[in-house]
């Protein structure tokens, strides 16, 4: 699968992309929601899943989810991948059409478990 990682941390991107590539997936990176929009609109290859951080400059995760509801730029499942772990944050993300929620830090087992759930939905 082609997976877009939207996170302002290069370290998180490096860690998650390594996990994904070891699992046979292709990782792309956007440092914030605005860059993710550019990549989605211009990307010739299909993006199968988006891993989305909550706290980022320019456009954060919830703002990206709200934008996607209004503009319908992607129908790819979006998985929140964040340190935000309050019940209110989780409810907000899910109410904005996030398909799943992963709390940082996480292991590759957790990541691939969520991706398996997403694949069953596709």
Mean pLDDT in runs of 10 for the chain (122 residues)? Answer: 96 96 96 96 86 97 98 95 94 96 95 93 77
- What pLDDT was estimated at residue 44? 64
Has this prediction a pTM greater than 0.85?
A: yes
Which residue has 């891993």 as its token pair?
Answer: 51
Q: Which residues contact 38 (CB under 8 A, 6 or more apart)?
A: 30
Domains assigned to the chain: 2-111 (3.40.50.2300)
Helix, strand, or coil (residue 31): coil
């Amino acid at each position: 699968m082609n997976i877009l990682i939207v996170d302002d941390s290069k370290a998180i991107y490096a860690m998650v992309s390594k996990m994904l590539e070891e699992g046979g997936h292709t990782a792309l990176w956007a440092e914030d929601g605005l860059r993710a929009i550019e990549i989605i609109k211009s990307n010739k290859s299909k993006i199968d899943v988006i891993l989305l951080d909550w706290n980022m400059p320019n456009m954060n995760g919830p703002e990206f989810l709200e934008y996607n509801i209004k503009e319908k730029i992607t129908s790819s499942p979006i998985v929140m991948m964040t340190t935000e772990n309050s019940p209110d944050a989780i409810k907000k993300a899910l109410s904005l059409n996030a398909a799943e929620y992963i709390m940082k830090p996480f292991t590759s087992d957790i990541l691939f478990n969520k991706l398996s759930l997403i694949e069953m939905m596709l």
